[in-house]
Structures are given as structure tokens and as C-alpha cells.
Amino acid sequence: MEEYIKKVSQLLDRVIDNTGWRQMNCINLIPSENTPSLFVKFCEISDSAGRYAEHKKALKKERKLLEDSRALKGNEIFYYQGTDFINFIELEVNKEFAKYSGATHVESRVISGQQANEVVFKAMVKNLNRNKDNEGLSECGRMVCVMNNELTYGGHLSAQPFGALFNMVENDNVVNFPLCRDNSYMIDADRMCELIEEHKPPLLVFGKSMFLHPEPISRARKCIDDLGLNTVIMYDAAHVMGIIGDYFQSPLEEGADVITGSTHKTFFGPQRGIIAVSNQDGRLDRLFSDINSRAFPGSLSNHHLGTLVGMLMATYEMNAFKNEYQKAVIENAKSFAKSLEEFGINIEGGREHGYTKTHQVVINTREHGDGKELAALLEDNNIITNYQALPSDESFLHPSGIRMGVSEMTRFGMDRDEFHQIAGYIADIIKNKKNIKEEVAGFRKNYLQMRFAFDKDTHSKVLKKVMENIIPFHGDFEKIFS
């Protein structure tokens, strides 16, 4: 027991040290990360975190048999008792996220963006197999081909045959979107339409992990409709989920059928996934039904109920602060890119296109050294980034880029002037190899109050409620805090 008391103490010390370092000393510029609000964190540690709520849509005969049973909640059969609360939470998440994204149908049980993509791919194959005459289906029952973004040009690994597409497309037959000759971060829409006509893919997968410019969704929609194809347009919004809307692009309004993604990058949520479908005319009824069944029981059983409660709180926050947050993020990213250029750093994304229209800024470090070594040097100086292979690199082992995002620091109160100062720090570190660790930490300590969240008075009231009503269930309150 003495040995484990010591280990517990050491672990808690390290947890506290790491949290203090990341939250108070570091400028976090990793584009796939965000800090959830206290509200979201409180929800995540509630009782639901340890509970189960498996459920599936009831067939007509099942609904008839269970019509007087509490196992039937709406049209869903629940396999555990004590689930009325989480049923409410899930329905409310679906409603609020539909409001946020413009969707008609939402599947919120998936627990990561990668799983969300895999669920849609499985649902596509199942849906195509309902109709053996569908030309999008191979003899082996897989999609004949899929059009996606190539990995080395910013595409996400989940949309590759070695990722979530594994065994979903015949002979790994993917057709990569063609890129503009003057900007390899943008799709050439004219050539894309030619390839759609040539290959007639049953599925297009837009979205990237190195995401600087909008995708040509409306052009793809028109092309597909003009050709009379049944192609489904999927948009992996993982990186841009928190900025879809008026200041960037609105995928479902522009003609996408399905949005997938994670909920913790630009979105304010805990680490989960989401699937949203636009099905105004009922054309995708069966596909959404297959999405439901491939979520449960296809890809998960329990769906991490604590983070689901946190997801609802995060979606309330997004719907409350969406416009001002999104505007600030995109303005900061554009300003940050311009400032880096002023300090002599080479920026990817095309100067004539403003370098970026998202939260991301990608720099080319080839002139100053290996990307991963410079990212480590930035980390030593309390600036956390993500080294990145650029399109011109031969492999990810020797990257010449660093990928950054402004969303988290924007939420902690930083605007154009602050990002100009950060650009200067980055230039001093990667160009001049200066050690400014303490200066960066001192700068960061001025920005600890989270914006685009409910006010401090509300936080104080909630904290009091949590301290009095949630924490005591984990042990004697006075003993814990004595």
C-alpha cells in the first residue's frame, strides 16, 4: 500500500505540473486541439461517465411487442435501465447540432472523427448492396471507387484505403482530387468534374487535415446532378467543424449530403465524433438508417456517456457564441500568416489566395531546418506546434513544414496584435535560434481567461454546485479538501 500511495502522489504531481505547463506557460498552436470550458469538463465527470446506454431503432414488430415497455423510448429500444436522462441528452445533442450545422438528421454516438468516417463508409457499402444493379458497386460488393484528397496533399488518413476505407473500395481504387497548378492546397474544380464524369464514383470525400481553403462542394453538386449520378458527397469537417458557417463555408447548404468529423478541434467539445446528414427530400432515408445501424451495433456498444453530456454543453456554447468566435478565428489566422511573412517566414497556401481561409497557417521551414527539429525547438520555448510534411516532401520522416492553428489561443483572448507578437517569437526561435522560454511563458500568463464561454459569475455558481453535488459522491467532502 505504501508503494502505491507513493505512485499515486507522484502521478498527481505530474498531472498538476503538466496541466499548469500546458494551460499557463504554453502558447498552443496545434490545430487539432482545443481546451474545453469548465462547463464541459464538469459534465464529463458527472455520473454518466460510468454508465451504459446501448440502443437501436426498433422494427415495427418490435415496437408493437414493446409498446407498453419502458425499454422503448420513442422508436429506440434501450438495453439498460436508468437511461431516461441520457436519452434526453442524446436527443438534445442531435437537435442542437442540427441547428448548428443545418442538418436534418444527426448521429451523435460515434466517439471519434475516424470512427464517424468508418461508419459512413460501412453504411455506403451496405446501402449500395441493397441494389445489386447499382453501378457504384463492384462484383465483390464494395464501392467501385472513391474520390478523395491525397494524403501527401493534406488529405486525412481516415479517408485512405489503409485507414477507415480499408476493405470498403474495390482494389483500393481511389481517385485523388486534381489540384490547381498554381496552388496545391486547392482543388481544380474543372478537372474534378471531368474525373467525376469519367469514373462515376459513388462517394466523394472532401475535407483535409491540412486545410487552408474551402472545398468546391457546390461545383461538385452541380456536376453530379447534371450527370444524373447518385453520388454521395461527404465532407470531413473534423478540422473546421467549429468554423463552418458564414465566415468559411456551409457544407450542407452548398450541396454536401453528409458531414463527419471530430468535435474537439475548432469545435468547443470533448473528444468525440459526429455525423450530420442533409435529407430534406428523403433521398437519404435508407443511408441514414444504415449509418444508425453501423454506429450501433456496427462500430460501438456503449458510447462514452460522460463526454456525450459534455458535447451537449459544448454545442450550447457553439450556438451561443458561433458568429463572434468564427469571425475572430478566421481574422486571426489571416493576420497571423501576414505577420509571419513580415518576419521573413515562408508561408504555404498561396499569397494570391491570402494563404488561409481557415484556422490553420502552414509555414515552410526548409530554409531554416528540418520541420520536426524546429517543432521540437519551439516546444522547448513553450510554443506547441505540429510538424508537417509538405506536398514537395518525399516523406513524413523529413518534413519541411510546420502546421499551426489559432483557435485555442483565440478563445483565450488573443487577437491580431498578440498573434503578431507570437509570429515574432517564432521567427526568433527558428531563424535566430533564440532561447525565449521564460518570455513566452510570461506572455502566456496574460491570457488565461477563456472567451466565447458563459460568464465568470455563471462559472462560479456552477463550480459551487459541482463542489457540493458531484465531488462528494467520490468520497468524504471535508476529508478530500482538508
pLDDT of residue 189: 98
Q: Taking the CA atoms of the chain, what radius of gyration do you get in angstroms?
A: 24
Q: What is the pTM of this model?
A: 0.94
Look at residues 195, 190, 188, 117 and name the one whose alpha carbon lies nearest to residue 153: 188
Residue 103: partners with Cβ closer than 8 Å, 6 or more residues away: 97, 252, 259, 276, 277, 278
Amino acid at 42: F
Given pLDDT bands bounded at 50, 70 and 90, which one contains residue 365? very high
Q: For 437-453, what is each residue's pLDDT tens digit? A: 999 999 999 999 999 99
- Report domain extents, the chain: 40-46+96-313, 453-482
Please tell me what DSSP assigns to residue 35.
P
414 pLDDT band (50/70/90 cuts)? very high
Looking at the chain, the whole-number percentage of residues with pLDDT higher than 90 is 82
CATH architecture type of domain 40-46+96-313: 3-Layer(aba) Sandwich (3.40)
CA distances from 422 to 168, 414, 440 (A): 44, 10, 9
In this structure, are residues 315 and 269 in contact, taking their beta carbons and an 8 Å threshold?
yes
- pLDDT value of residue 348: 97
Is pLDDT of 480 > 90?
A: no
| Burial of 172 (C-beta count, 10 Å sphere; 0-12/13-18/19+) | middle
What is the predicted pLDDT for the residue at 135?
Answer: 75
